[in-house]
């Protein structure tokens, strides 16, 4: 039994006042780091994630290189003070190791790695502040950073979580909803191509609820996708002028 | 850091011939695409473990063992027992596995199994409390991949479910003065309380064909896979997409239908083995 589960839906409103199908406030900034080839900072509600991309560049150590494609390397991690409660040890946790893989595999289908044989594209996702949806914010940020680095892609990758709290299917869960809800399902997609590149389900859904949740996620993804494009345009249009 | 894995060279050379067979509706070992290989289990292969099962899925072999101990509950869940899942790909299992601590694939596999068991409440952890907030049963579920011929996750879930179903809780006494728990593993009376059986069905995508239970060669050229855990009530209790490729919405719906059907079969089979 979890300690004192709060009521998550009151009069159809969520704990932070949103309706079930609302996203939190989103801010996307492009090119926030000088040294990285591409970078982006994504804020979604209380979650704040920085992504940096280096490459295509030489592979060190050399034995990792592949003759027919660029390798993508990805590291997701949470800063030691990014979570509520105790300090997180900076040593990589099993969760971080899994999420590094999941984020890489969410981005791989979009990147045209065959154009850069023997090269590496490095993606670093750093969670500065965690309030639910850090992996999805990380994917959203990383794909903008990849575009900022000028890496050819089929499409951006956009991610958002859906879930079930107090029996209601909701979009973009925050930390409390994730912790006490019945299900949490992060999804990433290439919105123009309608290709789903990541899906995880942590919790229980009936097949019908799943269908509804997936549709809601794809709607949310379309909205975030517009913000990603806007952020990229803003940076590059300003430079041209 | 997580990096793009290299596709082994043999399946790459055989790519066209595998694609050809698969597009005709068959696995390279002539099974229909949605059939599992033969499943064989040996129970109690490691008698020192509190429960152990060797699962053979075709040539894939997975050994699952459980040790049960008394320990402290997690502070955020004081009235529940503890389940800890770990997986290791031993170097004996494949030329591509290296010695060392579990890599990202092993960690991911263990975490997917752990989440599915936990979220579905497959085992009644709330009935594993000895002294609330102080002493609970801790179940260490360890998965060792002995031979890798594809579809490790599905085999691991069959083994995990079966090992849990076999597990008998040892006899114990609580010292009324000190509160110490004395365990006598030579006497076992009660079975581990199971709420429901679950199974994981991984649907792989080769070209644009969906199939289940590939061999290692087929798995190596699959662009992506979607592991779906289903409960005996027909709910979806866990999901994980893996691999470099993608799924279309329609393919995900198909994959769910496949896993609900196949999951039912696997659960029946596991229940039969558990008897």
Q: List the CATH number of the domain containing A202.
A: 3.30.230.70
pLDDT surpasses 80 at A2: no
Q: Which of B193, B200, B194, B196 is nearest to B236 (CA)?
A: B200
A75 in reach of chain B (CB within 8 A): yes
Dihedrals φ, ψ of A81, to 5°?
-105, 15
A179 in reach of chain B (CB within 8 A): no
Q: List the CATH number of the domain containing B176.
A: 3.30.230.70
CA distance B126 to B133: 11
B133 in reach of chain A (CB within 8 A): no
CA distance A164 to A204: 9
Location of structure tokens 């309608």: A194
Number of domains chain B contains: 1
**Which of A:193-232 have CB within 8 Å of B?**
194-207, 210-211, 214, 218
Q: Residue A209: inside a domain, yes or no?
A: yes
Q: Considering only the beta carbons, identify the residue of B1, B108, B243 that sits closest to A74.
A: B1
3-state secondary structure of B210: strand
Q: Residue A202: inside a domain, yes or no?
A: yes
Which residues, 6 or more positions from A160, have their beta carbon under 8 angstroms from its beta carbon? A23, A133, A136, A140, A171, A172, A186, A187, A217, A220, A221, A224
**With contacts defined as CB-CB under 8 Å, which chain B residues touch A190?**
246
Number of Cβ pairs closer than 8 Å across A and B?
119
Asked if A69 lies within 8 A of B4 by C-beta distance, the reply is yes
pLDDT tens for B85-138 read 999 999 999 999 999 999 999 999 999 999 999 999 999 999 999 999 999 999
Lowest mean pLDDT among A148-157, A197-206, B171-180: B171-180
**With contacts defined as CB-CB under 8 Å, which chain B residues touch A221?**
none
Best mutation target among A196, A215, A218 (most B Cβ atoms within 10 Å) is A196
Range of the domain at A65: 18-235
**Which tokens belong to B186?**
């030579």
The pLDDT confidence band at residue A172, using thresholds 50, 70 and 90, is very high
Q: Residue B97: inside a domain, yes or no?
A: yes
Range of the domain at B98: 12-195
Angle between helices B152-166 and B104-119 (to 10 degrees): 50
**With contacts defined as CB-CB under 8 Å, which chain B residues touch A56?**
none
Q: Which of B225, B193, B195, B198 is nearest to B209 (CA)?
A: B225
B67 in reach of chain A (CB within 8 A): no
Asked if A69 lies within 8 A of B246 by C-beta distance, the reply is no
pLDDT tens for A90-100 read 999 999 999 99
What local confidence, expressed as pLDDT, does residue A60 receive?
95
Q: Considering only the beta carbons, identify the residue of B2, B235, B246 that sits closest to A206.
A: B235
Lowest mean pLDDT among A4-13, A109-118, A191-200, A202-211: A4-13
**Residue-by-residue DSSP string for chain B:** -EEPPPPPHHHHHTHHHHHHHHHTTB-TTS-BTTPPPPEEEEE-SSTTSSEEEEEEETTEEEEEEEEEEEEPPPTT-TTS-EEEEEEEE-GGG-TT--SSS--HHHHHHHHHHHHHHHHTT-B-GGG-EEETTTEEEEEEEEEEEEE-SS-HHHHHHHHHHHHHHH-EEEEEEE-TTT--EEEEEEEEEEEPPB---EEEEEEEEETTEEEES--HHHHHH-SEEEEEEEETTS-EEEEEEESSS-EEHHHHHHHHHHHHHHHHHHHHHHHHHH-
Q: Residue A6: inside a domain, yes or no?
A: no
Q: Considering only the beta carbons, identify the residue of A72, A95, A211 that sits closest to B4.
A: A72
pLDDT surpasses 70 at A241: no
Asked if A207 lies within 8 A of B260 by C-beta distance, the reply is yes
Mean pLDDT for all residues in chain A: 96
How big, in percent rounded to 5, are the helix, strand and coil portions of chain A?
A: 30, 35, 35
Q: Residue A13: inside a domain, yes or no?
A: no
**With contacts defined as CB-CB under 8 Å, which chain A residues touch B238?**
201-202
B61 in reach of chain A (CB within 8 A): no
CA distance B102 to B218: 24
Q: Residue B66: inside a domain, yes or no?
A: yes
What local confidence, expressed as pLDDT, does residue A131 receive?
97
Weakly modelled stretches of chain B, pLDDT under 70: none
B242 in reach of chain A (CB within 8 A): yes
What local confidence, expressed as pLDDT, does residue A237 receive?
82
Location of structure tokens 């008897």: B275
Q: Residue A92: inside a domain, yes or no?
A: yes
- Write the CA distances from A186 to A34, A166, A197, A203, integer angstroms: 31, 18, 11, 11
What local confidence, expressed as pLDDT, does residue A3 receive?
58
B132 in reach of chain A (CB within 8 A): no
Q: Considering only the beta carbons, identify the residue of B77, B104, B238 that sits closest to A101.
A: B104
Q: Residue B2: inside a domain, yes or no?
A: no
The CA distance from B78 to the nearest CA of chain A, in Å, is 7
Asked if B104 lies within 8 A of A100 by C-beta distance, the reply is yes
CA distance B228 to B249: 15
What whole-number percentage of chain A has pLDDT above 90?
A: 95
Best mutation target among A95, A199, A211, A217 (most B Cβ atoms within 10 Å) is A199
**Residue-by-residue DSSP string for B84-111:** EEEEEE-GGG-TT--SSS--HHHHHHHH
pLDDT tens for A34-49 read 999 999 999 999 999 9
Q: Mean pLDDT over residues A178-200, rounded?
A: 97
Q: Do residues A202 and A133 touch, judged by C-beta distance below 8 A?
A: no
Q: Which of B8, B125, B242, B51 is nearest to A108 (CA)?
A: B242
What local confidence, expressed as pLDDT, does residue A1 receive?
41
Nearest CA in chain B to A187: B241
What local confidence, expressed as pLDDT, does residue B129 receive?
96
pLDDT surpasses 50 at A74: yes
Q: Do residues B26 and B32 touch, judged by C-beta distance below 8 A?
A: yes
Q: Residue A8: inside a domain, yes or no?
A: no
Nearest CA in chain B to A188: B246
What local confidence, expressed as pLDDT, does residue A98 receive?
98
Q: Do residues B259 and B228 touch, judged by C-beta distance below 8 A?
A: yes
Nearest CA in chain B to A124: B1
> The pTM is what?
0.96
Q: Considering only the beta carbons, identify the residue of B4, B111, B239 that sits closest to A71.
A: B4
Q: Considering only the beta carbons, identify the residue of B1, B105, B245 that sits closest to A109.
A: B245
Number of domains chain A contains: 1
Nearest CA in chain A to B101: A94
Q: Residue A84: inside a domain, yes or no?
A: yes
Q: For chain B, state the CA radius of gyration.
A: 20
């Amino acid at each position: 039994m979890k300690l004192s589960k709060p009521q998550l839906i009151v009069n159809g409103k969520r704990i932070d006042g949103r309706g079930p199908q609302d996203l939190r406030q989103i801010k996307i900034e492009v090119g926030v780091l000088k040294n990285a080839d591409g970078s982006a900072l994504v804020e979604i509600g209380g979650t704040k994630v920085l992504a940096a991309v280096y490459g295509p560049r030489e592979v060190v150590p050399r034995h990792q290189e592949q003759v027919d494609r660029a390798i993508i390397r990805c590291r997701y991690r949470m800063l030691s003070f990014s979570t509520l409660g105790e300090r997180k040890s900076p040593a990589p946790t099993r969760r971080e190791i899994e999420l590094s893989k999941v984020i890489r595999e969410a981005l791989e289908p979009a990147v045209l790695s065959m154009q850069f044989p023997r090269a590496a594209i490095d993606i670093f996702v750093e969670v500065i502040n965690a309030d639910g949806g850090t992996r999805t914010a990380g994917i959203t940020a990383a794909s903008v950073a990849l575009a900022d680095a000028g890496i050819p892609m089929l499409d951006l990758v956009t991610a958002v979580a859906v879930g079930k709290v107090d029996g209601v299917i909701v979009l973009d869960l925050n930390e409390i909803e994730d912790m006490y809800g019945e299900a949490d399902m992060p999804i990433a997609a290439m919105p123009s191509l309608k290709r789903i590149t990541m899906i995880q389900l942590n919790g229980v859904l009936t097949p019908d609820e799943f269908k509804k949740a997936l549709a809601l996620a794809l709607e949310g993804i379309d909205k975030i996708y517009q913000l990603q494009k806007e952020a990229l345009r803003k940076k590059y249009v300003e430079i041209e002028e | 850091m997580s990096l793009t894995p290299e596709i082994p060279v043999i399946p790459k050379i055989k790519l066209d011939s595998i694609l050809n067979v698969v597009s005709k509706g068959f696995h390279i070992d002539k099974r229909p695409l949605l059939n599992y290989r033969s499943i064989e289990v040996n129970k109690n292969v490691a008698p020192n473990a509190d429960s152990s099962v060797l699962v053979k899925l075709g040539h894939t072999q997975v050994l699952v063992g459980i040790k049960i101990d008394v320990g402290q509950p997690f502070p955020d869940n004081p009235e529940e027992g503890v389940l800890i899942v770990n997986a290791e790909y031993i170097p004996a299992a494949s030329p591509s596995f290296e010695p060392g601590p579990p890599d990202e694939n092993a960690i991911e596999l263990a975490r997917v199994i752990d989440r599915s068991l936990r979220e579905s409440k497959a085992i009644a952890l709330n009935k594993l409390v000895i002294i609330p907030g102080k002493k609970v049963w801790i179940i260490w579920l360890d998965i060792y991949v002995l031979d890798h011929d594809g579809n490790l996750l599905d085999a691991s879930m069959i083994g995990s479910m079966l090992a849990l179903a076999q597990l008998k809780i040892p006899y114990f006494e609580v010292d009324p003065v000190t509160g110490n728990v004395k365990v006598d593993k030579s006497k076992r009376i009660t079975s581990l309380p199971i709420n429901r059986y679950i199974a994981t069905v991984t649907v792989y995508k080769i070209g644009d064909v969906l199939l289940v239970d590939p061999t290692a060669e087929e798995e190596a050229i699959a662009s992506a896979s979607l592991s779906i855990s289903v409960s005996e009530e027909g709910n979806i209790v866990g999901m994980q997409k893996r691999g470099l490729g993608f799924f279309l919405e329609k393919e995900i719906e198909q994959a769910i239908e496949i896993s609900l059907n196949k999951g039912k079969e696997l659960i029946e089979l596991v229940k039969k083995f558990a008897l």
